[in-house]
Amino acid sequence: MAETWVNVPEFGASEVGPGQVAGTNLHLELSGEGSLRSQLMHALREAIRSGRLAPGTRLPPYRSLAHDLGIARNTVADAYAELVEEGWLSARQGSGTKVARRATPLPPDQARRPQRQTRRRILHDLMPSSPDAAAFPRAAWLTSARRGIAAAPNNAFGVGDPRGRAELRETLAEYLARARGVRTEPDRIVICSGFAHGLKLLGSVLKGPVAVESYGLDFHRGLLEDAGLRTVPLTVDSYGARIDELPGTSAKAVLLTPAHQFPTGGPLHPERRAAVIDWARSCGGVLVEDDYDGEFRYDRQPVGAVQGLDPDRVVYIGSTSKSLSPALRLGWMVLPGRLVDDILAAKGPREMWSGVVDQLTLADFIACGAYDQHLRRMRQHYRRRRDLLASTLAERAPHIRVSGIAAGLHAVLELPKNTEDAALRAARRQGLAVDGLRPYRHPDSTMPPRDGLVIGYGTPQDHAFAAALEALCLALPDQPSDHRRKPAPARPSGGPAARKS
């Protein structure tokens, strides 16, 4: 049995002057049968029923009550979340947890029934792959739109060319050579509406099977499989995809994220970059290079594109989805010359995907230097967020290993075995949207499943980011009592020293 006096802020405490503390002492007694969470819920219900906790009273933060009662903070968080579902409490971002204002709380069975029919409200979005929408450069984009439209010839506003506007292709050829090390000409660039659109077009041109990374987007695998192409997984380790496994797959194409492997993080090792080109030359194969997170690297200059090693063996695909906004629906395919006509035939006789005005605007936005300025600003912005995420986890959850943070807008939080599902349930109770790591694993992979959370730090606005991190920390599993520091892993097989292809 545990009992204590806790300080509960009174309703109306917001009227108290600076430096003052308002609150009332509340006696809570944890006793009876069941878990500590059940005992705490029973004690809070009784305090509300008896009137000791009046409607509108703000409850202590999770950590404060957990410290006072001598129990785990997740126990308090789970109890609060369940009482919110039952109608005893209410919770709003920035306002804390309060006693609900209804006179008679709903019985538990009635309170839970609607939850099965409606999605839990999302208070904090830490899903990966989304940029900060509030940071879109509206003024500079409007300036480029006015300039681009004013300078465009009349025929720009007729039937669209499936290759894309010449102004944009010419600008991209110069920019990609300068910023990403891509070697190409404007007539080998085809504009598309994003990476998924480009991959779908390639699906009608490539021959299967297609090798893919063991961890990656199931949506991308689905696009290839919808085109009738079987996908074969390659093991992913700390050096990226195991290129030495390619000869045993009978694949004629491979899809990789060399700049920053998604979702596990890290660039493809230089020797493996050379090895995949050697493989493509030896068998007449093609590398499809998803330049994922190519613009956002924090520990050094961005890694150049593999395409620069052999433009005739690599299809390079990039987009504005992360650098500007996924709402623009603008991407580009840099193709080997022999594939251009096939891709244009697959796309159709006229442009039906990317708007001319956005293409003209992007061409001016890049040419005038605004794109470079925006990327520099966002690189600093996202680095600050990454640093705050890393420092918060180091302080609050030092037993959780964080990986994949040298680039991009996401990190992987590695969890103890068989804890991913519980962490996702805890996150939902916090109103937190996150991804688990296991769904990214190819179903045919021989790699052992890993437990983890894939955390995106690009979406929340600045004022909400700290609260999102607080919710994340509350959702993470506690450090096991038998936790011991593990020795550093040995050099993985198939690393640079073991390259076979």
pLDDT greater than 80 at residue 467: yes
Q: Report how far apart, in Å, the C-alpha atoms of 254 and of each of 49, 130, 249, 289 are.
A: 63, 25, 10, 8
Quick one: pLDDT at residue 32? 64
Check: pTM over 0.85? Answer yes or no. no
Q: Which amino acid is at 372?
A: D
Q: What is the spatial distance between Cα 61 and Cα 49, in angstroms, rounded to a whole number?
A: 21
Q: What is the spatial distance between Cα 374 and Cα 323, in angstroms, rounded to a whole number?
A: 8
Instruction: Tell me the per-residue pLDDT of 385-436, one tens digit each, with 9 for 90 and over.
Output: 999 999 999 999 999 999 989 888 999 999 999 999 999 999 999 999 999 9
> Residue 54, class by beta-carbon neighbours within 10 Å (0-12 exposed, 13-18 middle, 19+ buried)?
middle
**Angle, to 10 degrees, between the axis of helix 462-475 and the axis of helix 370-396?**
30
The mean pLDDT of the chain is 86
**Angle, to 10 degrees, between the axis of helix 62-69 and the axis of helix 73-86?**
120
Q: What is the spatial distance between Cα 417 and Cα 426, in angstroms, rounded to a whole number?
A: 16
Instruction: Tell me the per-residue pLDDT of 179-235, one tens digit each, with 9 for 90 and over.
Output: 999 999 999 999 999 999 999 999 999 988 999 999 999 999 999 999 999 999 999
Q: What is the spatial distance between Cα 265 and Cα 76, in angstroms, rounded to a whole number?
A: 34
Instruction: Tell me the per-residue pLDDT of 13-28, one tens digit each, with 9 for 90 and over.
Output: 333 333 333 455 667 7
Q: What is the spatial distance between Cα 317 and Cα 196, in angstroms, rounded to a whole number?
A: 10
SS3 469: helix
Quick one: pLDDT at residue 302? 72
Structural domains present in the chain:
2-118 (1.10.10.10), 135-372 (3.40.640.10)
Give the count of beta carbons closer than 10 Å to the beta carbon of residue 51: 8
